[in-house]
């Protein structure tokens, strides 16, 4: 039985007719080598943004159903052009919209969740030697309306199809060679990882490594789909994301993820009052403010939370309202911050890591504004202008240039 | 019961966001005046050609199924943007692809024919006060594949929906004020017609008046849908195309249609041999050459046919092949020709008209290369460089500037 791969190509990978032809070359070669393949494509780079901009000109508050009707055309163009390029090479191929595959979602337009991927049509095509070319990022709801999965959702489409078809591997082709120990733009000695555990990849993705969308990683883990990140521009085996991490190297820091553009809000008098705490988070939730890290320190009666800096104004407005009903103590805030997160391949003695991080950063004169740990990661919030400095110091100290 | 109108807007009518907003203004006004409306939209001007050009770059012989998948996105963008513009004005509206309406077609990709328009969804929307905004030019085949009706097919979509819903009128909004006695660019005294019979409109459309697609006129006649052509840029009642022509003015020439870029092929020895004749047309059909006028003159043993000049080379090649098996006599050809057609509102004594036309054109020194009549029209083929001269002479002689 030939191996079955679901291969997803992102916007830059199909960003021009030249790129589409190059991808078609590679896919045709694999096809004639006997691989079974399902392609999942994003819109050509820039197209989704162009369509959103058109919509914003008509109505910045356009209904999400109509936005989905609009932006889903981007992927439809990609799959038609790719199918033509494959047919020209003698590969029997057929383009399919989300609704034609029957990628069934709920009706949360703009951020729909996949309920089920029907496999009947895909399997029939594969059985008859036809290569399905599927529009990523989109599905269809129970009313027959076109939905989209939100930005980055093509990865999730690929993973969901791979899971439904029980594919041997889901391959995410992107413009980098795989998952790196950190952003090579910040630290040139960053190393490509040959493999990484799902847990670590999930944290890396959530913490700002843009190579994969966290939802798609979580989906792959849930369905135990082996996932691989590769370059669509260069040869190489990329990074395999494994759910069977038993034979991997001993647990240690595998990567440093970064996230910029953060603000920090601190409250001095809420920690001991669970009522206020509950009211606080309810109020932020209702007001549409998504917080990032939350740190509470009972001993100091303090609570700190980070959030995207563009949500700061709304957050302060909500706290002001809440302050008229509850005593919040001193509310202070700071902007121009970044988060640096160390992610490990397994459970670590994070207290040890924390003390090393404090020591390393103090050694290069960087102040830690907030520190937060979970089972396999540790995040510190620092001034954004010190970001590169911090990443380099940590990358070196944890010997990530030697993995 | 409020009147129900199906209103179709073509590419230039929705060619920019400004145009979309202007159309939305007019539709919202009619909506709040109590009109029931279904909109049918084309792609924004230039978009379909842009998509076809992309496809041609990938593969000039792309499979029609994939072309339909590609170009159908053009209308999808229009309906989403228009629905946003209507919603912004407080009109409850919903965009619908051909497949969502269930515009059921056969599987002739690129030139599909509509088998049926399901009305259930449209009626449910109208009953609940929601204005359906439907993608023209597209449907769905029994396999669930997206089909297109061919260029100009949005008119047919509108007519088919109007027929299925038994709408009071199908209104085709375009960039001219209605149907004219002839092309105003050729003859400034051309008059807008307030009404025209279906038969005459059908001939005008077939003979080169670009205001309506002949298929949509034929469809409107078949289902007895009152059809009106109006300007989307200017106020006015346009031209009503009537199937109940009994109370119209007495039969007479109502318009002059023109068609440019023609070639003429003449054979001197086929007319008396029906076998050769059969072989000739079979050979042209198989070779993909669509002929326009065909004139046969037994007495002179001659046969002449006109065709688009870009098909001339292929036609001559086919005749050359055929000539090796059959005696075709002298094959001569001429290019740089145009066709001028006089269309009447009812049956005419066309022999009289023919003699007048010969006389008028001879009077201004224009040679008639070929003449052909049918029940309600008379076409002459002349040198294209004499076209404007001929149209003006005929328009004046038949007093069309005074309708």
> pLDDT (tens digit, 9 = 90+) per residue, B53-105?
999 999 999 999 999 999 999 999 999 999 999 999 999 999 999 999 999 99
> What tokens were used for B316?
């001559």
Q: B77 at the A interface (CB within 8 A)?
A: yes
Residue B97: list chain A partners with CB under 8 A.
69, 146
> Tell me: the pLDDT tens digits for A36-46?
999 999 999 99
Q: Report the alpha-carbon distance of residue B49 to residue A43 in Å, rounded.
A: 19
pLDDT of A333 reads 92
> What tokens were used for B397?
């002689």
pLDDT of A175 reads 86
pLDDT of A375 reads 79
Q: B133 at the A interface (CB within 8 A)?
A: no
> Tell me: the pLDDT tens digits for A283-322?
888 888 888 888 877 666 678 889 999 999 999 999 998 8
CB contact under 8 A, A79 and B69: yes
Q: B53 at the A interface (CB within 8 A)?
A: no
Structural domains in chain B, CATH included, are: 4-175 (3.40.1160.10), 256-402 (3.30.2130.10)
Q: Report the alpha-carbon distance of residue B363 to residue A21 in Å, rounded.
A: 61
Nearest-Cα distance to chain A for B98, in Å, is 12
Nearest-Cα distance to chain B for A2, in Å, is 27
Average pLDDT score over residue span A120-144:
97
Q: What is the mean pLDDT of chain A?
A: 90
CB contact under 8 A, A63 and B87: yes
How many CB atoms are closer than 10 A to CB A128? 9
Contacts across the A-B interface (CB distance below 8 Å): 101
Q: Which pLDDT band holds residue A248 (cuts at 50, 70, 90)?
A: low
Q: Report the alpha-carbon distance of residue A339 to residue A357 in Å, rounded.
A: 13
Q: Report the alpha-carbon distance of residue A258 to residue A182 in Å, rounded.
A: 8
Asked if the model's pLDDT at residue A346 lies above 90, the reply is no
Q: What are phi and psi of A91, to 5 degrees?
A: -90, 125
Q: A57 at the B interface (CB within 8 A)?
A: yes
Ranking A14-28, B93-107, B151-165 by mean pLDDT, the lowest is: B151-165
Q: Report the alpha-carbon distance of residue B302 to residue B271 in Å, rounded.
A: 6
Asked if the model's pLDDT at residue B129 lies above 70, the reply is yes
> Tell me: the pLDDT tens digits for B240-253?
998 765 555 566 89
Q: Report the alpha-carbon distance of residue A161 to residue A301 in Å, rounded.
A: 48
Q: Report the alpha-carbon distance of residue A159 to residue A244 in Å, rounded.
A: 17
Residues 6 or more apart from A201 whose CB is under 8 A from it? A179, A212, A217, A227, A241
Of the candidates B147, B2, B173, B122, the one whose C-alpha atom is nearest the C-alpha of residue B66 is: B147
pLDDT of A212 reads 86
Closest residue on chain A to B16 (Cα): A54
pLDDT of B298 reads 64
pLDDT of A221 reads 87
Residue B84: list chain A partners with CB under 8 A.
55, 58-59, 62-63, 66, 70
pLDDT of B185 reads 87
The ipTM is 0.81
Q: Which pLDDT band holds residue A245 (cuts at 50, 70, 90)?
A: low
Residue predicted with more confidence, B372 or B163:
B163
Residue A53: list chain B partners with CB under 8 A.
none
Q: Report the alpha-carbon distance of residue B388 to residue B183 in Å, rounded.
A: 10
pLDDT of A272 reads 64
Q: What are phi and psi of A41, to 5 degrees?
A: -120, 145
Measured between CB atoms, which of A21, A65, A84 is closest to B62? A84
Average pLDDT score over residue span A99-111:
96
pLDDT of B2 reads 84
pLDDT of A51 reads 96
Residues 6 or more apart from A45 whose CB is under 8 A from it? A11, A12, A14, A15
Q: A80 at the B interface (CB within 8 A)?
A: yes
pLDDT of A53 reads 96
Q: What are phi and psi of B203, to 5 degrees?
A: -65, -45
Closest residue on chain B to A77 (Cα): B70
CB contact under 8 A, B76 and A80: no
Asked if the model's pLDDT at residue B325 lies above 90, the reply is no
Q: What is the mean pLDDT of chain B?
A: 90
Residue A144: list chain B partners with CB under 8 A.
100
> What tokens were used for B343?
């269309």
Ranking B64-73, B116-125, B375-384 by mean pLDDT, the lowest is: B375-384
Q: Report the alpha-carbon distance of residue A253 to residue A381 in Å, rounded.
A: 18
Share of chain B above pLDDT 70, in %: 95
Residue predicted with more confidence, A3 or A280:
A3
pLDDT of A381 reads 93
Average pLDDT score over residue span A88-100:
97
> Tell me: the pLDDT tens digits for B30-46?
999 999 999 999 999 99
pLDDT of A85 reads 98
Q: What are phi and psi of B130, to 5 degrees?
A: -100, 135
Q: Say if residues B23 and B91 touch (Cβ distance below 8 Å).
A: no
Nearest-Cα distance to chain A for B103, in Å, is 14
Residue B62: list chain A partners with CB under 8 A.
84, 87-88
> What tokens were used for A196?
């990484």
Q: Report the alpha-carbon distance of residue A319 to residue A314 in Å, rounded.
A: 9
> Tell me: the pLDDT tens digits for B279-314?
888 888 888 888 888 887 766 667 888 999 999 999
CB contact under 8 A, A88 and B59: yes
Q: Say if residues B76 and A145 touch (Cβ distance below 8 Å).
A: no
Q: A87 at the B interface (CB within 8 A)?
A: yes
**Cα distances (Å, whole numbers) of residue A282 to A277, B21, B313, B351:** 9, 40, 76, 88
Nearest-Cα distance to chain B for A75, in Å, is 10
Asked if the model's pLDDT at residue A82 lies above 70, the reply is yes
| DSSP label at residue B44 | P
CB contact under 8 A, B17 and A58: yes
- Among A82-96, A209-223, A338-352, name the most confident range: A82-96
Average pLDDT score over residue span A98-126:
96
Q: Report the alpha-carbon distance of residue B61 to residue B330 in Å, rounded.
A: 35
Residue B73: list chain A partners with CB under 8 A.
73, 76-77
């Amino acid at each position: 039985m030939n191996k079955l791969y679901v291969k997803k190509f992102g916007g830059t990978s199909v960003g021009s007719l030249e790129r589409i032809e190059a991808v078609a070359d590679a896919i045709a070669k694999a096809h004639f080598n006997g691989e079974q393949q399902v392609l999942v494509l994003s819109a050509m780079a820039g197209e989704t943004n162009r369509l959103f901009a058109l919509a914003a000109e008509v109505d910045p508050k356009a209904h999400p159903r109509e936005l989905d009707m609009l932006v889903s055309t981007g992927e439809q163009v990609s799959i038609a052009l790719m199918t033509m390029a494959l047919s020209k090479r003698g590969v029997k191929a057929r383009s399919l919209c989300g609704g034609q595959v029957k990628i069934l979602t709920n009706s949360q337009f703009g951020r729909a969740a996949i309920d089920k991927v029907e496999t009947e049509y895909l399997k029939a095509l594969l059985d008859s030697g036809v290569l399905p070319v599927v529009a990523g990022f989109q599905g269809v709801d129970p009313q027959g309306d076109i939905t989209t999965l939100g930005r980055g959702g093509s990865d999730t489409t690929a993973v969901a199809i791979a899971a439904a078809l029980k594919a041997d591997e889901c391959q995410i082709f992107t413009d980098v060679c795989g998952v790196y120990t950190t952003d090579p733009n910040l630290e040139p000695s960053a190393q490509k990882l040959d493999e990484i555990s799902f847990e670590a990849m999930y944290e890396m993705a959530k913490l700002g490594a843009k190579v994969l969308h966290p939802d798609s990683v979580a989906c792959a883990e849930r369905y135990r789909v082996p996932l691989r990140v590769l370059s669509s521009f260069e040869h190489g085996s990329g990074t395999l994301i494994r759910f069977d991490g038993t034979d991997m190297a001993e647990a240690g820091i595998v990567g440093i993820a970064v996230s910029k553009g953060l603000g920090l809000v601190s409250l001095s008098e809420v920690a001991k009052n669970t009522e206020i705490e509950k009211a606080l988070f309810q109020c932020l939730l209702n007001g549409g403010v998504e917080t990032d890290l939350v740190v509470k320190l009972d001993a100091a009666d303090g609570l700190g939370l980070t959030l995207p800096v563009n949500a700061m104004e709304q957050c302060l407005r909500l706290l002001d309202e809440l302050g008229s009903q509850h005593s919040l103590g001193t509310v202070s805030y700071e902007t121009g911050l970044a988060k640096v997160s160390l992610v490990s391949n397994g459970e670590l003695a994070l207290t040890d890591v924390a003390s090393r991080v404090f020591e390393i950063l103090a050694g290069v004169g960087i102040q830690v504004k907030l520190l937060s740990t979970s089972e396999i990661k540790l995040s510190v919030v620092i001034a954004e202008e010190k970001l590169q400095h911090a990443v380099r110091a940590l990358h070196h100290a944890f010997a990530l240039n030697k993995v």
